Structure 1
Amino acid sequence: MNDTPDTGPATLRWDDDGQPLSSIYGDFYFSRYDGLAESRYVFLDGNDLPKRFNALSSDNTQRTFTIAETGFGSGLNFLASWQLWREHPRGNHRLHFISVEQHPLTPHDLTRTLTPWPELAPLTEQLTAQYPVFIGRGIQRLHFSDNVSLTLITDDANRGLQSLLWPELSSAGVTRQPRVDAWFLDGFSPSKNQAMWSEELFSTIASLSGPNTTAATFSAASVVKRGFKSAGFTVTIEPGYRKKREMVTAARASRPETVAPACERASELYYQQATHRASNELTALVIGAGLAGSHTARALAESGWHVTVLEQHTPASGGSGNPQGLLYARLSHRRETLPRFNLHALMYAQRHYQSFWRNQPNGGEQCGLLQLANNDKQAAAQRQVVTALHHPSALVQSVDAAEASHLSGVTLAQGGLYFPDCGWLDPRQLCAERLDHPNIKVHSNQYVHELKQIEGHWHALTGTANSSSIGHAAIAVVACAERSGQLSQLAPLPLKPIRGQISSLCATAKSVKLKTALCAKGYLAPAHGGEHSLGATFNLGENNLALNPQDHQCNLEHLNELGEHVSAAFNHPTVNAVTGGRAAFRCTTPDYLPVVGPVPDYPALKRECAALGRNAKAVIETPASYHSGLYVNCGHGSRGLAYIPLCAQLLTDIINRECAPLDAPLAQALHPARFALRDLIRGRQTESHH
């Protein structure tokens, strides 16, 4: 699906001493003497990390220390850095480790490779528990204890690191690229893997480095020294590890002139990200306390922001208020934007909910999910998904009717896709858990009629005659689903509310045998509290949230489509058997992708980019106009549980100007400016959609 011929899992050979060698490059993964000692000597000491980590405890200006690495390999350098991080006082500071790997190890080989270092076992266990399956090119974000996160990029080194770069206007005056504090260049030796040490790679390193960036590598080859110098580093030759004569350390001497990364269209330069210069005042308003608002508030709070959440009613009272929601996303074998986003969002969400499932046993269950095929054509398409993803059984499996019946505990007439790490959650409990943080204050029954920026702060104003302020902060995030478009700054967004109704069915002696969640046109959750959730309808254009029997009947028809035996488990229920239900609005967009990022000044965008209406390739030379410090996270439709964790992290990284958990093209596909730019190119008027 995301694969290219030059990426694929690593194939290893093991020598007589149990040392792993790459079958592709014919080189060892680390020193035959002691790989961990080599990591500490070359990379940790070579970048002076013990001293720099220790200094963070008294530094209030740098909240995150970022290390970037070429060649993740066995993850030994990451684990060594994490171990060192734990040994130093760090307060609320965070360690972000970015690593790119063209040929990732399989989970089995990763575990075997790290076995010789039992002192790393507590960290190795966390890494192997989250280590993603290979699904081709892409970015995976993993979170660990001790405020440590890992961004693992599967790709060629230069292309993978370039995917972190955003097109910039040199005249904008503010750099928006993530900044790396220390580089580990640990690819196989230049003589065996020349592409890893290319001029293009060092140019990318320059773009991602700041004035105090350092670097270290085991190699002292001429190409390495030249590359660092071209990237603006001062090179120092140091004694190598053990029998290796020399190694290189480097420190940034200056910021050389760098070229903004290439973009497919000149208009992409308008897809800027951070619109708020970070300061010591880390205060944020979040409008909405549903799944999007609570996750955004939590992600910001965990990165040091003090967050005030304003909710019109009570938390999880809108579309996030259903008793059971299913975690799944529809995948495709096609390498298109929507299925690519679905895949990465699903994998992130599965890791994200592990602690919730573990610590909130009544709030959901990681019971697995079956996406049943409705017909032979759909079954064939599902098998293509598994093939395109290289048969990742830990992520998704193609199963026949017999296997599906065994997994679910009920007789099923069709097979489908089985997601072993999916399941259901109670969104209400999930929102409460996300909002339970010392940096978050929640104010319910607060209707925000207007957002207004006054002297550098965003104020939330009521709709009363006096229009008083009910909260203010340095930045504001709008995350209140379809109501987001009622605020004037977001009125041009084409948000569509779609009513959905779920039905509750009383569990029976047969229905409680259902072990997995089922979905086809509709979905059925396993029994919880004596009831099953069945849903959900799609009522575009309907505004009445009162329950109606026609929608209950529609849900019962969905139940029948899951199979004769499933319906029979409930004694072929009629509308009279429905014990309750709930209706709410989903918020969707025309391209079915959420809206995540900074809010443009839409009238200014229309003026600045008017030339796109005449020429789609026109160069936009002026800095883009945005509402400084105003962001949005909405439009998740019926996939909120899958989409929102990744989107909340993406938005937080945008705000903090840190490396995003998605490559730039995918992040741009979620950008709030995309609809207005498309309308301009197509000659349409960008107006309020409300």
Structure 2
Amino acid sequence: MSEPPSHSSLHWDEQGQPLSASFGDVYFSRHDGLAETRHVFLEANQLPERFAALAPVHGQPEPIFTIAETGFGTGLNFLAAWQLWRQVAPVGVRLQFISVEKYPLGREDIKRALSLWPELGDLTQALLAQYPDYLGPGIYRMHFGPVSLTLIIDDAVAGFEQCLTSTDARWRSPRFRADAWFLDGFAPSKNPEMWREELFAVMAELSGPATTAATFSSAGIVKRGLKAAGFAIVKVPGYGRKREMLRAQWQVSGAPTASAAQRALDIHPRATHSGGKHALVIGAGLAGCHTARSLALRGWQVQVLERDTVASQGSGNPQGLLYSKLSHRAETLPAFNLQALVYAQGYYAPLWQEYRELGEACGVLQMATSEDKARAQQDVMAALGESQQLVRRLSAEQASDLAGLPLAAGGLFFPGCGWIDPRALCRILLEHPNIQVQTHCAIDQLAFDGHNWRASDSEGREWQGDVAVIACAHFSGQFAPLAHLPLKPIRGQVSYLPATRESLQLRIALCERGYLAPARERRHCLGATFNLGETELTPTARDHSDNLAHLGDFGPALADSLGSYPPQALEGRAAFRCTTPDYLPIVGPVADVDAFKEVYAPLARNARAQITASTPYVPGLYVNTGHGSRGLAYTPLAAELLASTINAEPLPLTRELAKALHPARFLLRDIIRSNAKR
């Protein structure tokens, strides 16, 4: 967030079609952009026949067809491919669409452009419902049933290089192989920076023997680039006034794949497991339930194992707020906070609409009750840019009008956020035919027999799976492969306050030192304390008193209305948050600790030493934990990251952020620090 994101500047012609003011070019044919897309990209890549020919095979992973695109633009190509997929693809197969766009359009511009094709109306609405409110540089994942869209905001070359495991050509391997390329974007004469040699080189690395490509352009730079990358090209009739276009087939067989040793510098590798699709997920809190759902949606059979009941630990509060702490600083934690919040908003939006018991998308106000906080929020807004829709800054008067009662200060208002009942959310996530849940089973043995993971409890019951995911907060450290993780439980207590006539007017959720949600069934949830080192979970009057003191941040109206309750008479709930030293969650494959230390031992002598052996992992073992007090914001994206890793799919985060969450980062840190202490 060091500088605001760049968005495309548009002009609109008399026919209501968008033109790029920056490049002086059209986004699609003035004659009929949808017909052009079908001719140039769908038919030239033979997608009707190829989609129809896909067929699921019993006992095998779901077939996935992958389309990679340069230039998302208005999203017309994506919608056309999705429409065709719905018409001809069989049930049980998936479409993966990956598009790179340097100058994204805002939601309203996309809505206006796509309104030209009413036949795409339902698909357009589905896209707009999940389209991110903020589109700075990064990766954004959206799901539409069996169709997924990965939108990478970056230069075309840099964006697709994010789909390789390293920027160093000696060590990198592809995270996907494209079945078809849509080479779109503005014409080479208008945008030569995109159509450069490096683009075609990275295309080659992400292509396989069956890969095809199509483009509206027949310019010499495009023909030479495709040929140099190993594509055989054919000139075919273009659409409308364009006499010629190109279609291509990748001809280079046996694409080089990085060896295990070459992947040593990649701390976030492809998954390595036995190939089956049965998973064990230990823990039925937010992390475990989101993980189970993400795997189930990919065709996995998931067994969830919970020591108590669903959402009984840190995920058991009746109300929690979806929000995240943003900063203008270009640092890892605020960067992840931003990406997680954007993904979570899109994830929860349809659930809020479908499930009344889930909560309310009422908006969240992060109040600024001091000059320092107000300046920090001003810096955040400057970094985000004025064109984004994620957040806006409100004065005290504006915030009070939204809230429905007087507030002490304004702040940052997130209209796409709100409050959620984590217990209801977990139950909703587990409602899937591919998910089975076993509660009241404290797993005390977890072992790999060379083929499968076997989990057993004290009663002798046993479950097995091809992979195992440990997602049980600070209890994760009880399993030997995770004993080294620096997990820290921090007690937190919430207070339940009977609503008053005044407090029932509250229409938005508030947070400052504490948080307060609008009343649910005439009761507010006020929280939460941070009690480091405390192990007793019985609610205390002292913590109720601390929570009540935070009401003063919100202003006299709420403080006077709710603050008079005697602390000793209040009900509440206490639970443990699971945190990490860097406040980032721990998500990914689990390293073999002893072997890892041996492989990376040279870093103890020289932090720049080259590691020539592959990173050793425990086969098929993964972890998703350490979400602290940001479980609602973090766990949807963390689960998507984990499921993408297990399925060897493109990641929903940049390579740098994915590595920042990797479980082995603490092992690596300790080895390097031992060198500094010498």
**Cα displacement (A) at 1:631:** 0.5
377-386 or 270-279, which deviates more: 270-279
CA distance 1:50–1:208, shift in 2 (3 Å): same
Contact 2:133 2:342 in 1 (8 A): no
Which one of 288, 297, 315 corresponds to residue 302 of structure 1? 297
1:315 match: secondary structure:
coil
Q: Does 1:163 align with 2:166?
A: no
TM-score (norm 1): 0.94
Residues in 2 aligned to 1:190 and 1:406: alpha-carbon distance in whole angstroms:
51
1:197 match: secondary structure:
coil
Aligned match of 1:93: 93
**Cα displacement (A) at 1:469:** 5.5
Aligned match of 1:21: 19
**Cα displacement (A) at 1:103:** 1.1
Residues in 2 aligned to 1:497 and 1:363: alpha-carbon distance in whole angstroms:
26
Contact 1:286 1:293 in 2 (8 A): yes
1:449 match: secondary structure:
strand
Residues in 1 aligned to 2:485 and 2:148: alpha-carbon distance in whole angstroms:
33
TM-score (norm 2): 0.95
**Cα displacement (A) at 1:558:** 1.6
What are the equivalent positions in structure 2 for 1:206-605 lying under 5 Å apart?
A: 206-255=204-253, 269-277=265-273, 279=275, 281-392=276-387, 394-463=389-458, 468=460, 470-570=462-562, 572-578=564-570, 580-605=571-596
**Cα displacement (A) at 1:133:** 3.2
Number of equivalences? 673
2:633 match: secondary structure:
helix
Contact 1:134 1:390 in 2 (8 A): no
Aligned match of 1:640: 631
CA distance 1:53–1:259, shift in 2 (3 Å): closer
Q: Does 1:665 align with 2:656?
A: yes
Contact 1:171 1:622 in 2 (8 A): no
Contact 2:319 2:420 in 1 (8 A): yes
Instruction: Give the aligned residue type for 1:365.
Output: E
Instruction: Give the aligned residue type for 1:274.
Output: R
Aligned match of 2:153: 154
1:195 match: secondary structure:
coil
Partner deviation per Cα, 1:640-677 (whole Å, 9 max, x = no partner): 00000011111101111111111111111101111110
Instruction: Give the aligned residue type for 1:362.
Output: E
Aligned match of 1:32: 30
Partner deviation per Cα, 1:173-222 (whole Å, 9 max, x = no partner): x9562222211000111111111111111121122223322111111222
Contact 1:2 1:335 in 2 (8 A): yes
Contact 1:267 1:616 in 2 (8 A): no
1:193 match: secondary structure:
coil
Partner deviation per Cα, 1:36-85 (whole Å, 9 max, x = no partner): 11111110011111111111135555532111100111111011101101
Contact 2:473 2:626 in 1 (8 A): yes
Residues in 2 aligned to 1:127 and 1:425: alpha-carbon distance in whole angstroms:
23
Instruction: Give the aligned residue type for 1:500.
Output: G
CA distance 1:380–1:591, shift in 2 (3 Å): same
**Cα displacement (A) at 1:571:** 5.2
2:26 match: secondary structure:
coil
Aligned match of 2:50: 52
User: What is the Cα-based RMSD across aligned positions, in Å?
Assistant: 2.3
Identical counterparts, % of pairs: 53
CA distance 1:273–1:178, shift in 2 (3 Å): same
Residues in 2 aligned to 1:677 and 1:685: alpha-carbon distance in whole angstroms:
13
2:622 match: secondary structure:
strand
What are the equivalent positions in structure 2 for 1:113-124 lying under 5 Å apart?
A: 113-124=113-124
Residues in 2 aligned to 1:55 and 1:162: alpha-carbon distance in whole angstroms:
30
Q: Unmatched 5+ residue regions in structure 2?
A: none
7-16 or 497-506, which deviates more: 7-16
Aligned match of 1:10: 8
Partner deviation per Cα, 1:399-440 (whole Å, 9 max, x = no partner): 111111111112111111111111111110100000010000
**Cα displacement (A) at 1:102:** 1.1
Residues in 2 aligned to 1:268 and 1:409: alpha-carbon distance in whole angstroms:
57
What are the equivalent positions in structure 2 for 1:611-630 lying under 5 Å apart?
A: 611-630=602-621
1:284 match: secondary structure:
strand
Partner deviation per Cα, 1:101-141 (whole Å, 9 max, x = no partner): 11112222212222221111111122222222344211111
**Cα displacement (A) at 1:556:** 1.2
Aligned match of 1:82: 82
Residues in 1 aligned to 2:676 and 2:191: alpha-carbon distance in whole angstroms:
52
Which one of 657, 665, 675 corresponds to residue 674 of structure 1? 665
